Amino acid sequence: MKILKLRFENIHSLKGKHEILFDESPLSQSGIFAIIGPTGSGKSTLLDAITLALYNKTPRIGSLSKNTIEKYGTIVTKNTDSCYSEVEYEVNGSVYRSKWSIKLTRNKTFKDYEMEIASLPDNKLICDKKSEVPKRNTEIISLQYDQFIKSIVLSQGEFTKFLKANAHERGALLEKITGTEIYREIGKKAYEKFKLEKATLDKLKEKTTEINLLTEEALKELENKQVEYKNNTLKLSDERNVLHKTLLKKEERIKLIVELKKIQEQYQSIDNQINKASSDFEKLEKHNKLIQIKSEILQLKTNNDTEKKLILLEKTSQTAIETIKTQLEKATLETKELSVLNSKQKEQYALDQNIFDSVRELDKNLEFSKLQLT
């Protein structure tokens, strides 16, 4: 982490706006510099402003709230109604700005403080929730507040103690300031862990002395059994592979049988369709043959109707002939009884004779028609 700029207003005794540019000359060219001045001049205020903007804490006060500020009258310069502090810093090539601020209300009471963190130079807001900003700064800087004030910012009180302490106290204080006391604790824990593990190892060594080792003959026998078991395992593995292949073949055969059954069912279905089609084809063939002889059948039907008409005509003619014959016989009888025929009777006879001739001619025609039909 590298602090680039510090801006603040009305913090402790430093009234008004102030700005320190650590990234510009002459400070950027100095490498190392000192903050000096009489007591109360505001040297520690600069450190407070830095930690306030980052963590909402100061080494001399700790965590801050509006109640703390109102109760102790601290942080905000007297007779002012607002204050703020912001720090620009760089981590791994990225630049950030973290800000803390507080204001008075119209009733001369403080509003709750505000914090925000943004990335630069795009000024993109990362977080403006006051409870989360210190956590985000901790994540970015990779230092908690206690680590920060012991490594980046060393408070005036801690440094005075360090100068006045004896060698032993100075070592302990240096550990506390730099946070290296944790390594002493790690060393203690490591030693305790070593003692525990060593005791466990000693117990295991004692147990090994109680174990009876095998003779060379017993060891050889176990090695032979191991070889035998290994050979049996290989043999069983080969048998398993053979069985597996057989199983695969049987499964394949079952699949083929199932496929064959499906093909047979399809064949039977096609065969049924062919039989049905054959039946329909026979019907169609018969139909075509009937169509071919349809005219002959119609002709026969016409001849049959003609025959029926002739038969009816024959019956009618026969009836007429019988009637005429009866009349003729009656006329002939009457003719025989009359001895004298006058001219009218002769004419009647001639007329009857013509009728008789007509009937005879009709009878011949009827016989001729019958011959034609046969």
Residues 63, 153 contacting (CB under 8 angstroms): no
Which pLDDT tens digit goes with each residue over 263-316?
Answer: 878 878 877 777 776 666 666 776 666 666 666 656 656 656 656 665 666 676
Averaging pLDDT over each range in 144-158, 214-228, 263-277, which range is the top one?
214-228
Q: Which helix (H) or strand (E) is 319 found in, with range?
A: helix 294-337
Higher pLDDT, residue 51 or 151: 51
**Dihedral angle at the C-alpha atoms of 275, 280, 282, 283, nearest 10 degrees?**
150
CA proximity to 86, closest of 30, 137, 122 = 137
pLDDT interval class at 215 (50, 70, 90):
confident
Cβ-proximal residues to 14 (8 Å cutoff; 6+ apart), any chain: 8, 42, 45, 77
Q: Which region among 11-20, 87-96, 111-120, 236-245 has the lowest average model confidence (pLDDT)?
A: 236-245
Tell me what the mean pLDDT of segment 78-90 comes to.
94
CA proximity to 85, closest of 106, 123, 58 = 58
Higher pLDDT, residue 309 or 137: 137
Q: What angle do CA 63, 68, 69 make, to 5 degrees?
A: 105
Higher pLDDT, residue 53 or 317: 53
**Rounded distance between C-alpha atoms, residue 6 and residue 48, angstroms:** 11
Higher pLDDT, residue 219 or 320: 219
Q: How many CB atoms lie within 10 A of CB 97?
A: 20
**Rounded distance between C-alpha atoms, residue 12 and residue 77, angstroms:** 5
- Does pLDDT of 113 surpass 60? yes
Enumerate domains of the chain plus CATH numbers.
2-142 (3.40.50.300), 318-373 (no CATH)
State the DSSP string of 26-84.
THHHHSS-----STTSSHHHHHHHHHHHHHSEETTTEE--HHHHHHH--SBPTT-SEEE
Q: What is the residue whose two structure tokens read 């603040």?
A: 8
Extract the tokens encoding 176. 């506390």
